[in-house]
Amino acid sequence: MKSATVSAFALSTMLFSASVSFAQELATKDRIGLADAPKSLVVRLTNDSPNNSDPAIAEGYQKLFVDFIKKHPDWKLQLQFMSSDIGTEQAKMLEQAKAGNAPDCAAVDSFVLSQFMVNNVLADFTSYFSKEEVDDLFPFIRSGITDKDQKVRAWWWDTDLRVLYRNKSIVADAPQTWDDLKKAALASTKEGMEGVLFNGGRWEGTTFDWLANYWALGGKLVDDSGKPVFGEGENKEKFLKALNYFKDLVDSGAAPKRVSTIANYDDMNAAAAAATTALFIGGNWQYAQLKATLDEDEFNNWTFSPIPGPSADQRSTGTGGWTIASFSKDKDKIEMRANLAREVYMGPANALQQQLPTRKSLFDKYEVFSTEANKTFAAALVDGQARPGVPIYPEISNQIQIMMGDVLSGTKKPEDALNAAFNAALEAYKRL
C-alpha cells in the first residue's frame, strides 16, 4: 500500500512538473505559445495584458493567454507592450499602419478609433461577431466600432464612466445639481476639507470629465460632417455656461485652485487617503482602488452617485474604453485576432480586472458584476456618451485642455479662452 502511495505521489509530481514545464514553455515575457509554432501573430497591447503592474492581474492575464493558445496550438503570439504615454503610442501606431509597418493586431483607444477608420487601415471584423453579439452592445459602443458602411472595424471590449465620489460622513446626501455640489463642497471646507476635486491640468482626462457638464446641457462638439461647432450659436452659450460653472467652483472656493494642475486620477485617491477631500469627480475603476487603499472603516464612508447636472433631470457622463483591432490583411491572422478578442477580452478580461463589459448580458454572466456598486455603474451607463468618433476630436480636446488651464488659473476670461480654442480647432480642421 505504501509503495502504491509513493508511486502515485511520484506520478502526480511528474505530471505536475510536466504541466508546469509545459506552461513555462508556452509563456515567456514576450511570447505566448510554443517557440516553434508554425503560425505567428504580432500583438501590441497596453497593461491590459500579462504586462500589468499588479502581479495578480498579470498572472491572471497570463493564465487567460495560455488557456487561449492551448486552443490554438498552431499559433504563437509575439507580444509588444505600449508605454503609459498612450497618446504618443497611438499616434505612432497610426503612422506605422499607414506605412504598412503596424503590428498584426493591437489595442486601440476608443477615442482615436475613428482616425484609424478614416485612414482605412483596419481589417473588417463584421463576419466574426454574430448579430446577437453586436445587438447586445450598448448603443454608443455599437456606433463607435461601426464605419460609414456599417462594417465592424474593431471590438470594443471594456468601458467606464465618470461619477461623483463623496465621503458620506461629511457629505451625507448626493448632490443632484450644480448648485447642490457647490453648496456641499463649500460646506466641506468648513470641516477642514479642500472642496471638490477634479481634473483641470493638461491631459485628456480634464476634457473628458468636464464634457459631461456640456453634454448634460445638450451641447455638441461637432456637426454631422465632423466640423467643430462648439464655439457658435446655441452650442457656444451652452459651452460658456458649463465652463463658467467650473470657474465659479474655483472662484468661490468650492474647489481649490490646485485643480488647474491635477492631471491624474491618482491625485484624487491620494486626497481621499489623506482625508483632505470629501468630494471628487473620478472614474468607476477608482471604487476598487479606494477599497484597496483605505482601511475598511474609512472605505465604508465612501460612496458615489451620478455627476450632478445643471438640473436634477439633466445628466450625462463620459464613457471610454479599449478596442481590439487588426491591421493585417491576412485572413487567418484577422480570424485569430477576432478569436483573441472573443475568448480573452470579451468577458474573461472584464471579470479579471472588474472593467465594465460593453455587452449588457455580460453583467449577468459574471458574478463580479452582480455587486450593488457594479449594478449602479451599469445603470448609469444609460446616460453615457462617448467622445465623437471624428478625426478632429484629439485637437478639440487639446484646445479644451489649454482653455481650461487659462480659465481656472484666471489667465483668460471664459469667452476669450473659448474663442481661442474654437478658432484653433477650426484651423486644424481645415488642415485635415
pLDDT one-digit tens code per residue, 285-320: 899 889 988 999 999 999 999 999 999 999 999 999
Q: How far apart are CA 167 and CA 165, in angstroms?
A: 7
Helix axes 414-431, 393-408, angle to 10 degrees: 160
What share of the chain in percent tops pLDDT 70? 94
Rg (CA), the chain: 24
Q: Using the predicted structure, report yes or no on whether residue 363 has a pLDDT greater than 80.
A: yes
Dihedral of alpha carbons 126, 129, 130, 134, sign:
negative
Query: According to the model, what pLDDT value does residue 21 have?
Result: 53
Give CA separation, 301 vs 148, 165, 274, 297, in Å.
47, 10, 14, 7
The whole-angstrom distance between residue 237's C-alpha and the CA centroid of its chain comes to 29
**What's the chain's average pLDDT?**
92
Class of domain 162-319+391-430: alpha beta
Sequential DSSP letters for 114-157: HHHHHTT-SPP-GGGS-HHHHHTB-HHHHHHHB-TTS-B--EE-
In the block, cell 487567418 appears at 332
Q: What is the mean pLDDT of residues 120-141?
A: 93
Which three cell numbers, joined as nine digits, stand for 432? 485635415
38-82 pLDDT, tens digit per residue, is: 999 999 999 999 999 889 999 999 999 999 999 999 999 999 999
Asked whether 66 and 26 are in contact (CB, 8 A), the reply is: yes
Write down the domain spans for the chain: 17-156+321-383, 162-319+391-430
Give the CATH fold of the 17-156+321-383 domain.
D-Maltodextrin-Binding Protein; domain 2 (3.40.190)
Q: How far apart are CA 276 and CA 188, in angstroms?
A: 10
323-344 pLDDT, tens digit per residue, is: 999 999 999 999 999 999 999 9
Flag whether the pTM goes above 0.85: no
230-267 pLDDT, tens digit per residue, is: 999 999 999 999 999 999 999 999 999 999 999 999 99
